[in-house]
Structure 1
Amino acid sequence: MSANLTPAAEPPRPISEPSPTAEHYPVLDGVRAISILAVLWTHLMPFTLGGIPLNESLGMFGMALFFILSGYLITGQLLKRPPVSSFLARRLLRVVPAAWIALSVVWWFRPVDLETALSYLFFYANLPPQRLVPPIDHFWSLCVEVQFYMLAALMLWLRVRAIWWLFPALLMTFTGMRISHDITASSVTWFRADDLLAGACLALVMHSRFWPAVRQVLSRPSMVPAFLLLLMAGSFLSHEVYNPLTYLRPYAAAAFVGALMAQPRHRLSIWLGGPVFAYIASISYALYVWHLPLAATWLGSGDLWVKYLKRPLLLLVVFGIAHVSTFQVERRFNELAKRVGAGRGRRLKEV
């Protein structure tokens, strides 16, 4: 993805093909749903292939898709140039309240020291020296996410047009750092942020004058399965085998998602755009936040057979709490964020 991209007007699109600047792609809900289902399977069920444990690989696959979507959507918001306060209100009220509620519940039963608590509350627990502790060690990804929000807000405040060269430059830099340190997977921001930045660069390409030509290439029927296979090859790890394709994981994931959006009538795009996936996507954040804390309770206890016999009940509870959290907690804060943003926008117009 080139660093010299510049925004430009696009030719009209057919009604059946959404514009990246205006409409919603239903397939993205499906991608989000697949990402959280992969993470749930990673943490809650065994996954082996030919006797090789691949739970970490499946998690890598799911998190790559999650970060690609996040980078893509956040960058799309940046290009609309909202007020910084509105942007931060929407992003932080989307993430922080539910996370802090979960942390409060976990720490009630499993207290932590002050330094660890602060590192979680302010989303830097994943940075060295890491203070990630079970059953909330999966919050490393929320730390990466919130840190990206801070970078995005800084660019919005300074000069948003700089992202056209900064994000591609950071993408190549962080991938280069992973290669130089032989790191295929990490929870440290600078060894994982290329997933987010690949999604950000996908958004830049889709809002550039190059998108019609890129879309024409991605619209070939072979592109969806080809990039999916490359993403899987770059995600599925074996500790005994060095796999250089892992360094291509962010780029394959971005290309795969881009191909799905370029082909809204592809069989996989239609399937992922279904209502079941839309619902799972709507509660995906709460599913992510709550699944490991709940797995650390009686619902996840016992020897091997007892533990897995309880899995249906655990999943039922996880989905139930995620539903309540999404529609009774997160939705209220999302509505508050919209009011804050709307109020800020009105004040700016009056000035």
Structure 2
Amino acid sequence: MTAALASHATERSPVLDGVRAMSILAVLWTHLFPFRLLGVPLNESLGMLGMALFFILSGYLITIQLLKRPTVRSFVARRLLRVVPAAWLCLMVVWIWQPVELETALANLFFYANLPPQRLVAPVDHFWSLCLEVQFYMLSAVLLWLRPRAVWWLLPALLALMSVLRVAHQVTASSITWFRADDLLAGACLALLIHSRHWATMRERLSRPGVIPLTLGLLVASCVLIHEWVNPLSYLRPYLAAAFVGALLSQPQHLLSRHLGGRRLAYIASISYALYVWHLPLAATWLGSGDLWIKYLKRPLLLLVVFGIAHVSTFYVEQRFNELAKRVGAGRGQRLKEV
């Protein structure tokens, strides 16, 4: 199988939907339910795991699109119309009953609120990840416009640079671009690897028995965040997450890969973006209010509303903009080349 054919197969692999569903379910649990192990609060750790998987997938899929060399118009239209409408709609709804200053509004609307001085405000402070996404889109669009083949050396170089920065500043968790984009870049490098002549050798190694549970175990360990304790494995989190996803793609018949390819997880994956956008704003309403017991007694109703709005948002709002993006971005493309 050539690298181009192999990448086509892995891009469409059902296991990727399962990983996306895992990521959003981890984030929902992080924000809506307590998670303790032996008395140690681990909600932030679970959230770190969910976001690591989300960014790996995002960087991977975006880079696959880059390597197909679409027109800049097509790429930008598809990326922005996929993210912006639902995000802006959510912001407008929130700001109707909770107005913000102009500077804060602009920073969130144009996706730079995660950069210092940060202008992230509840209940949409989780939009830091959307800022990171859109900034990566813009970098990708510039590369596509100026020098598409630069992705082969620039993205790995940026990954190495950000790893060095995190180690130098002892940053284990952050929402600032240069301390967090390494997850996106690791996913991008996984896409580059799969499109390269080295993938056959790496795939053979990732297909060995025990690699999937090993990489998953190490990934989970790298996401453990305990205050006043620096987890050295966290610096390897992007690489472990990429290795875990690569192992799943290399072993489609593994028990975990088959479970992740199920229909229920595929549906959750299909509405995952809307779930992410709306869950915290809805949790800030009456649905998430009350003392401890009242709040958690309302959780089933909150989840029902979150999933309902996510379904409507995905299939009646986002889908229309996705169709518009296809029409706006219709144009020529270039065939993918193996290097």
Q: Same fold (TM over 0.5)?
A: yes
Q: Which residue of 1 aligns with 2:113?
A: 125
Q: 5 Å matches for 1:215-234?
A: 215-234=203-222
Counterpart amino acid of residue 204 in structure 1: L
Give the Cα separation in 2 of the matches to 1:36 and 1:236.
18
Q: Which residue of 2 aligns with 1:247?
A: 235
**Aligned match for 2:190, one of 202, 205, 208:** 202
**Aligned match for 1:56, one of 32, 44, 47:** 44
Q: Which residue of 1 aligns with 2:336?
A: none
**Aligned match for 2:8, one of 21, 33, 42:** 21
**Cα pair 2:111 2:131 within 8 Å, conserved:** yes
Give the Cα separation in 1 of the matches to 2:171 and 2:229.
13
CA RMSD of aligned residues (A): 1.3
Q: Which residue of 2 aligns with 1:15?
A: none
**Cα pair 1:178 1:191 within 8 Å, conserved:** yes
Give the Cα separation in 1 of the matches to 2:157 and 2:132.
18
SS at match of 1:261: helix
**Aligned match for 1:278, one of 256, 261, 266:** 266
- Deviation sequence 1:62-98 (CA, Å, 0-9, x none): 0000000000000000000000010000000000000
Give the Cα separation in 2 of the matches to 1:106 and 1:216.
49
**Cα pair 1:31 1:272 within 8 Å, conserved:** yes
Q: TM-score, normalised by structure 1?
A: 0.93
Q: Which residue of 2 aligns with 1:236?
A: 224
Q: Which runs of 4+ in 1 moved over 4 A?
A: none
Q: 5 Å matches for 1:31-110?
A: 31-110=19-98
Q: 5 Å matches for 1:253-268?
A: 253-268=241-256
Give the Cα separation in 1 of the matches to 2:6 and 2:163.
30
Give the Cα separation in 2 of the matches to 1:126 and 1:242.
23
Give the Cα separation in 1 of the matches to 2:311 and 2:159.
35
SS at match of 2:8: coil
Instruction: Establish whether residue 10 from structure 1 lines up as the match of residue 5 from structure 2.
Output: no
**Aligned match for 1:345, one of 310, 313, 332:** 332
- Percent identical pairs in the alignment equals 74
Unaligned runs of 5+ in 1: 1-8, 13-17, 347-351
User: What's the offset of the Cα at 1:221?
Assistant: 1.8
Q: 5 Å matches for 1:328-343?
A: 328-342=316-330
Q: Which moved more, 1:34-43 or 1:231-240?
A: 231-240
Q: TM-score, normalised by structure 2?
A: 0.96
Counterpart amino acid of residue 123 in structure 1: F
Give the Cα separation in 1 of the matches to 2:245 and 2:192.
14
**Cα pair 2:183 2:238 within 8 Å, conserved:** yes
**Cα pair 2:3 2:199 within 8 Å, conserved:** no
Give the Cα separation in 2 of the matches to 1:218 and 1:241.
31
Alignment size in residue pairs: 332
Q: Which residue of 1 aligns with 2:337?
A: none
Mark the CA change 1:239 to 1:11 in structure 2 (over 3 Å): closer, same or farther: closer
User: What's the offset of the Cα at 1:241?
Assistant: 2.5
**Aligned match for 1:151, one of 109, 114, 139:** 139
Unaligned runs of 5+ in 2: 334-339
Mark the CA change 1:211 to 1:301 in structure 2 (over 3 Å): closer, same or farther: same
Give the Cα separation in 1 of the matches to 2:20 and 2:256.
14
User: What's the offset of the Cα at 1:11?
Assistant: 7.0
Q: Which residue of 1 aligns with 2:125?
A: 137
User: What's the offset of the Cα at 1:239?
Assistant: 1.1
